[in-house]
Chain A
Amino acid sequence: MTMEIEKEQHVLVIFPHPDDEAFGVSGTIATHTKRGTPVTYACLTLGEMGRNLGNPPFATRESLPDIRKAELQKAAEALGIKDLRMMGLRDKTLEFEDDGKMADLVSDLLAELKPSLVISFYPGFSVHPDHEATARAVVRAFRRLPETERPKLHLVAFANNTDADLGQPDIVYDISNVFEKKMDAMRAHISQTIWLLKEMEKLLAQNDEATVQRVKFERFWTYRWDDDKVSELKA
């Protein structure tokens, strides 16, 4: 069962890696920008530690960040994101950053932009340590706001135990009418997605039901404040 995407005042997307936005939420983003809703994408790192460098290699550990930065800008353009912010942190280090500063980073964005909706990862269900650190920072920043002033918080979850422990997503959007924009966003991150896209495009051409479902429907879990497991910041 799908639902309509509500009209927002301002959408803030917070993810740690270029391409995190592409697979799960780019159709939703494109829907908002198509309506003229401003979308800010705060991307915390440049995915400096990406492992797809090719063999023969097309990039080195040192040249990859510039490649991924250009891909991120291209994806943002494809999705109509006019406010792309590269936050300058380093891939695979977020969980080791000062947790208070991580929350401050999010608090500053919330204070400045006053978004009506924030999109990020669900803490505990987002697999990569950078995703988890980002998710915790978002939840901690939200906690600093009075409940009535908190934006909506729509989160992506994909850990293997999601169905068992978090249940079904409470939000499912059919993004068919911006499908090509979503594909363009995925194609923009070509250094990271080339193998996956080849496989995906083959399956889509065959109308493979599971793949169609995965690409055309975007799933979110609203954060459950009544079951908030993110630890308190140490004073």
Chain B
Amino acid sequence: MEPIITAKVQESIDHFANKDIYIHMETTNGAYASHFNEKFFSAGAYIRNARLSYEHGKIVGEGPYRVGLKLEIGWVYAEGLTHYGFDEKGRLLLAGHDFDGKLAVALQIGEEPFK
């Protein structure tokens, strides 16, 4: 993956607009956060291969970046995104890696379901 180039990501977000797409989205602070620091409130969310369609989407911010997708009657968004790439099937992979190189957030869009 490469550091995000907003124009490239925006182009891809536009490409997937108004198509039936699959989303992978996660945010996490790791399953051990509360083990190492008992005062840490551990939280996260995960959705894999949710099928949806969005009217339009945007990448905004100065980095880390935020991406929002406007659905017919709802929204998807993620913040803290730092890196982007494409897999062999042309799916857009967005990830936010923290200062230690740990994944903190991911938002991925593809026309085929993820494995």
> Contact at B28–A61, with CB atoms within 8 Å?
no
Residues of A38-72 contacting chain B, CB below 8 A: 49-57, 60-63, 65
On whether A57 and B83 interact (CB within 8 A), knowing A52-B101, A92-B46, the answer reads yes
Within 8 A of B (CB), among A93-151: 127-130
Tell me which of B9-17, B52-60, B68-76, B91-99 binds A: B91-99
Q: For chain A, which range describes its interface: under 10, 10 to 19, 20 to 34, or 35 or more residues?
A: 20 to 34
Other-chain contact of B31, A52, A54, A63, A128 (Cβ < 8 Å): A128
> Which chain A residues lie closer than 8 Å to B95 at the CB level?
53, 57, 60-61
- Encoded as 1 (CB less than 8 Å from any A CB) or 0, chain B from 19 to 54 comes to 000001010101110010010000000100000000
Interface size class of B (residues with CB under 8 A): 20 to 34
User: Is the Cβ of A62 less than 8 Å from the Cβ of B87?
Assistant: yes
Residues of chain B within 8 A of A54, CB atoms compared: 97, 101
A203 at interface, CB cutoff 8 A: no
Number of residue pairs A-B, CB distance < 8 angstroms: 67
Inter-chain contact A55/B108, CB cutoff 8 Å: no
Q: How far is the CB of A44 from chain B (nearest CB, A)?
A: 15
Contacts of A160 in B (CB 8 A): 35, 38
Q: Is the CB of B103 within 8 A of A127?
A: no
- The answer to whether A49 and B28 touch across the interface, beta carbons within 8 angstroms, is yes
Is B77's CB within 8 Å of the partner chain A?
A: no
Give Cα A61–Cα B97 distance, bound, in whole angstroms: 11
Q: Is the CB of B98 within 8 A of A55?
A: yes
Question: In the complex, which residues of chain A have a beta carbon less than 8 angstroms from the beta carbon of B35?
Answer: 127, 159-160
Report how far A72 CA is from B87 CA in the complex, Å.
23
- The answer on a CB contact under 8 Å between B93 and A60 is yes
B64 CB to nearest chain A CB (Å): 11
Cβ B101 vs Cβ A127 within 8 A: no
CB pair B31–A60 under 8 Å, yes or no, is no
- Given that A55-B97, A92-B31, A128-B32 are contacting pairs, would A60 and B1 also be in contact in the complex, using a CB cutoff of 8 Å? yes
- Report A's interface with B, CB cutoff 8 A: 49-57, 60-63, 65, 92, 127-130, 159-160, 195
Residues on B lying within 8 angstroms of A by beta carbon are 1, 3, 24, 26, 28, 30-32, 35, 38, 46, 82-83, 85, 87, 91, 93, 95, 97-104, 106, 108, 114-115
Which 3 A-B pairs have CB atoms at the shortest separation, nearest pair first?
A55-B101, A55-B97, A51-B102
